[in-house]
């Protein structure tokens, strides 16, 4: 457990991957290569220089790399796998449940394994989803509404078929619905990541117990996300992509975080490194050292205490996934 100025900090990394984007796994070379190189641009442009990997390592890193970067030096106590399939482009998928399950089963005290669904897969997909939930004891899913599937270039949470899958989530107790609603990764379409469909399903499934974790907080649509989040208490903000701006554009990071805190508060924001796009070590260190500029505190009426940082770095995600947190790291209600 991370220690900072005498404080015990329990860290849950709410968004990690174990991907294979090596050329040997390319099915559609144009898009598979373009996808991972777009990821790599985020990695090298927003990371400190000491944390930038060569492209070859970035395309396919090892189990040892991941365990070292997350748990040995990265301060992470628990990491949540969020799969992304992309089987139109990658022969064995980019980051599947099965890939993640290898590590989740080997290190059950370190990882939480999430599933996924794509409503375009119909009845067969619904059966496969239910089998995955039962096999892996899945408590959450990662949804990628802009993923391509043959001629289809995306879907919405409000589609009739999607509602069948959300109904199944409620039935099976899969309560944590992580939805990528953030920056576009080439060649996916920006409009397919619009946050608007979150509004309707958050209202509809509130009484069913579903929580919608909007990954990347809607960037670049932070305002739209905040207006939805403030009305829907079962909407949360996953801070992947938001967090790295603490290094590359600290003023922008402060402004975005201030908006999120003003609208949603510190109880509904979740730390995420988006590993291996970024490494958690430098993000955690910079976040713990972060202070709002005085003018932002005065103009926005927000601040961030050590208790708030503890919630964001781990306690909020731990609560969503019923993770037992050491007493030393807890905060008073």
CATH code of the domain in which 205 resides: 3.20.20.140
pLDDT at residue 333 greater than cutoff 70 = no
- Percent of all residues in the chain with a pLDDT value above 90, rounded to a whole number: 96
pLDDT at position 332: 66
| pLDDT confidence bin for 331, thresholds 50/70/90 | confident
Considering its fold, how many domains does the chain have in total?
1
21 in any annotated domain: yes
Distant-in-sequence, close-in-space partners of 286: CB < 8 Å, separation ≥ 6: 246, 247
Give me the domain span that covers residue 150: 2-328
For residue 57, which of 12, 19, 96 has the smallest C-alpha distance?
19
How high is the pLDDT of residue 1?
Answer: 87
Question: In this structure, is residue 270 part of a structural domain?
Answer: yes
Sign of CA dihedral 189, 193, 194, 197: positive
118 located within any domain: yes
Whether residue 176 has pLDDT greater than 80:
yes
Token output for 84: 């992304």
* Mean pLDDT computed over 62-72: 98
Burial class (CB in 10 A: 0-12, 13-18, 19+), 180: buried
Cα within 13 Å of Cα(142), Cβ side: 25
**Mean pLDDT in the chain?**
96
Q: Is the pLDDT of residue 242 over 80?
A: yes
Give the position of tokens 């040995």: 72
Q: 241 near 262, Cβ under 8 Å?
A: no
Residue 178: inside a domain, yes or no? yes
Average pLDDT for 272-288 = 98
The model carries a pTM of 0.96
Q: Which two tokens stand for residue 16?
A: 């990690």
Answer yes or no: is 116 within a domain. yes
Average pLDDT on 84-113 reads 97
In a domain, 333, yes or no: no
Question: What's residue 184's pLDDT?
Answer: 86
Examine residue 48 and state whether it is found in any structural domain, yes or no: yes
């Amino acid at each position: 457990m991370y220690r900072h100025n005498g404080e015990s900090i329990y860290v849950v990394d709410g968004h990690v991957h174990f991907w294979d984007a090596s050329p040997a796994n390319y099915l559609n070379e144009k898009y598979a290569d373009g996808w991972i190189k777009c990821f790599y641009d985020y990695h090298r442009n927003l990371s400190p220089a000491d944390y930038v990997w060569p492209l070859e390592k970035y395309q396919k890193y090892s189990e040892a790399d991941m365990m070292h970067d997350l748990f040995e030096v990265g301060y992470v106590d628990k990491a949540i796998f969020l799969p992304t399939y992309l089987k139109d482009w990658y022969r064995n998928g980019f980051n599947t449940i099965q890939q993640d399950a290898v590590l989740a089963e080997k290190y059950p005290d370190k990882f939480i394994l999430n599933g996924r669904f794509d409503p375009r897969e119909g009845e067969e997909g619904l059966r496969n989803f239910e089998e995955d939930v039962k096999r892996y004891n899945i408590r959450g899913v990662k949804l990628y509404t802009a993923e391509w599937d043959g001629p289809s270039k995306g879907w919405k949470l409000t589609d009739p078929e999607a509602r069948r899958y959300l109904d199944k989530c409620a039935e099976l107790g899969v309560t944590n619905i992580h939805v990528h609603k953030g920056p576009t990764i080439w060649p996916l379409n920006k409009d397919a990541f619009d946050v608007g469909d979150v509004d309707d399903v958050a209202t509809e499934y509130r009484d069913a117990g579903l929580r919608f974790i909007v990954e990347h907080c809607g960037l670049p649509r932070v305002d739209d996300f905040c207006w939805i989040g403030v009305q829907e208490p079962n909407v949360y903000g996953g801070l992947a992509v938001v967090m790295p701006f603490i290094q590359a554009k600290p003023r922008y990071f402060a402004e975005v975080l201030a908006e999120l805190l003003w609208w949603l508060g510190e109880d509904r924001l979740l730390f995420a490194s988006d590993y291996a796009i970024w490494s958690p070590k430098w993000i955690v260190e910079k976040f713990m050292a972060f202070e709002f500029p005085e003018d932002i505190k005065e103009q926005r009426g927000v601040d961030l205490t050590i208790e708030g940082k503890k919630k964001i770095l781990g306690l909020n995600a731990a609560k969503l996934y019923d993770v037992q947190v050491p007493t030393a790291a807890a905060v008073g209600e």
